[in-house]
Amino acid sequence: MKITIATDHAGLEIKDELKKRLEKSGVEVIDCGTYDKTSCDYPDYALKACEAVAEGKVDKGILVCMTGIGMSIAANKVKGIRGALVRDKETARLTREHNDSNVLIISGLFTPIDDAEEICNIWLNTAFSEEERHARRIKKIAQIEDKYFK
């Protein structure tokens, strides 16, 4: 599996530790930044990571910022991205099974690193259910994108 990971300055420690742990488990991680604590703008990093997902250069993406909210908003502006802000194991599973999310967003402030690692592992290893009702809803999301993302 090949993923992107990105953060702003507020999520740097979580991003760096997640990257290390994911690589140790055999995941190929493309680090889209940031690389230091200098104040920066999260949309720049969300865009870089999400474009790689949307263009099929990687399988999935993981984003971190202080609350996760800014990255969520920015990620979901990229056509084809279904980004989900997740703070627990159950929603990590459900967002893959029901929503086929392709970008996971984590709060660097509210998610301890061990929880973040568990969330990532569950999210990365859970498949989309393929149930008709969920596929139908994802198709409707794509139709909204087609209407508004020209």
Domains identified in the chain and CATH numbers: 2-148 (3.40.1400.10)
pLDDT at 13: 96
In the set 32, 50, 65, 120, the catalytic residue is 65
Active site residue 120: no
pLDDT at 138: 97
In angstroms, the CA 72 to CA 54 distance is: 15
**Helix, strand, or coil (residue 61):** strand
pLDDT at 150: 76
11 conformational bin, left if phi > 0, alpha if psi -120 to 50, beta if neither: alpha
Which phi and psi angles does 84 have, rounded to 5°?
Answer: -130, 125
Percent of the chain with pLDDT over 90: 99
Active site residue 32: no
* Residue 101 CB neighbours (<10 A): 26
Which residues does the chain have with pLDDT short of 70? none
Q: Within 13 Å and on the Cβ side, how many CA atoms surround 25?
A: 18
